[in-house]
Chains A and B, each alone.
Chain A
Amino acid sequence: MRIVHYVNQFFGGVGGEEAAGSPLEERAGAVGPGLLFEQMMGEGAEIVTTLICGDNHAVEHQDEVVASVVDKVKKARAELFVAGPCFEAGRYGMAAGAICAAVQSELGIPVVTGMSEENPGTDLYRESLYIIDSGRQTAEMRGVMVKMADLSKKMMNNEKIGSPSEEGYLIRGLIRDEFVEQTAGRRLVDMLLAKVKGEPFESEMVSTFFEPIFMSVAVKDISNAKVMVITDGGLVPKGNPDNIEGMAATRWGTYNLEGLDDLKSEDYEISHGGYDPKFVQEDPHRLVPLDALRELEKEGAIGELHNEFISTSGLGNPLSNTRRMGKEMVEKVKEEGVDAVILTST
C-alpha cells in the first residue's frame, strides 16, 4: 500500500516557528510521526513520500500548496493520504484540512487526519473529512496514530465506519440511517432512565453548539451614527450579478444605495430558497427598509445611511461557511466606518 504523508515544518524536522515560512518540500520515505504510522499500518504499508511545508507558507499560499500537494500525491500513485496529526496547531490544521479535502475530492482516495476539537481546521473540515480527535497533547502521538491507522485500514478495506465514539473521530454533523434493535421510544426511555440514575448514556444526535455572542457596545448617539443594512433574505439586483446561491450560499454581495430613495421591484430579485419571496419581490422594502431609513435620515434620527447594503441568503448553510462570511462582512463594515448595523433575517 502506497501512502503519502503531509506534516508541517515542526514535525518534519525542518525547524520551529522560525521555519514556518519554509516552502513545500518532498522527501522520500517516512519522516518523524510517519515512521510510527507506517509501523501501525503493519506489513505491506509504505510511506513513499513525505511532504513538508511551513505553517505560514501553507496558509499564505494555500491554493498553490494545495494544488502542488494534489499533484505530488497523484504522481506518487498513493492509495492513502494522511496528514498530521495537528493537535491544536491552528495553521497546521487549516492547511491539513484544505489539503485533505482537495486530495479526497480530486483523487478519490481515502484520507485521514487528526486534530483537536478546538483546532479551527476542525470547524472548517469536520463535515467533509474523518478527523481523528487528537486532543491537545502531542505526547499522545502514539495513541492518536493507532486510531488514524485503524480508521485508514477500514477505509482501505471498504469496511463500515462506526460512530465517532467507536472510531475516535470528531463528530461530522452527518446523520446516517442504521438498523437498530430497539424502537425510538424504547431507546428514548432507556436514555431517560440512565440519565435519572446518573448512568452514562450517549445521545444519538448531538445538538449544535453555538459560541456565546458577546453584547456589542451600545451606540452612544444614533442620530450621529452611520447605519448600514445587512440582510440574509437574499435580495439581489436583477440578474443576481454575484451569483449568490439560494441555498448554502458561499458568497455575499454589496449593492449600491447611493442616490436611491426607494427600491423598485423591477430592479431586484430574491435568491433564497425556502420562503415565499412573492411579498418582497412586490416591494423590496419589506426586507431592506430603505424608504423608512431615508425618511429617518432626513428627519435627523440617524446620522447617515451607508450607501450600500450587504446581502446573502441564509438557508441550509454549514456553520463553518456562515462564520466565514460573517467575519468577512465584519471586515467590510469596519472598513466603511459603519457605527451600527440593522440585520433583517427571513
Chain B
Amino acid sequence: MVQVTSAMPIAKMIGSTRVILGHGIVNVTGDPTLSPEEEKKLRCQLVQQALAALESEEKI
C-alpha cells in the first residue's frame, strides 16, 4: 500500500511505510488554481509517483 497525503507528520508518526506527499490537505490529488488540463497532468504525475512507490523495496 502507498499513502498519498499532505499530512506527512501524521503519516510519519504512525509509521506509514510508503508515503507520497499530496498536493494539499483539502485537495490531495489536485490543485484548483490550475487549468483542468494542467491539474489532470499533475494528478497523473502524483499517481505515477505512487505506483513507483508500490514497486519500491525501500521506505519512501
Contacts and interface: CB of A to CB of B under 8 A. Distances in A.
A binds B: yes
Interface of A: 210, 212-216, 218-222, 225, 227, 233, 275-280, 282-283, 285-289, 291-293, 295-296, 301-302, 340-346
A289 B47 CA distance: 8
Given A289-B46, A292-B44, A279 B17 contact: no
A315 B38 CA distance: 31
Given A210-B15, A215-B17, A286 B44 contact: no
A302 B54 CA distance: 11
Contact of A285 (B14, B29, B48): B29
A346 B15 contact: no
A346 B7 contact: yes
A297 to B, nearest CB: 11
A341 B51 CA distance: 9
A291 B44 CA distance: 8
Contacts of A216: 1, 17
Interface in B15-60: 15-18, 22, 24-30, 32, 39-40, 43-44, 46-48, 50-52, 54-57, 59
A275 B51 CA distance: 26
Contacts of A288: 29
Interchain residue pairs A-B with the least CB separation, the first 4: A286-B30, A345-B5, A286-B27, A341-B1
Nearest to A322: B14
Given A289-B46, A302-B51, A340 B29 contact: no
A301 B48 contact: yes
A344 B51 contact: no
Nearest to A218: B57
A325 B13 CA distance: 20
Given A301-B51, A342-B4, A343-B4, A287 B29 contact: yes
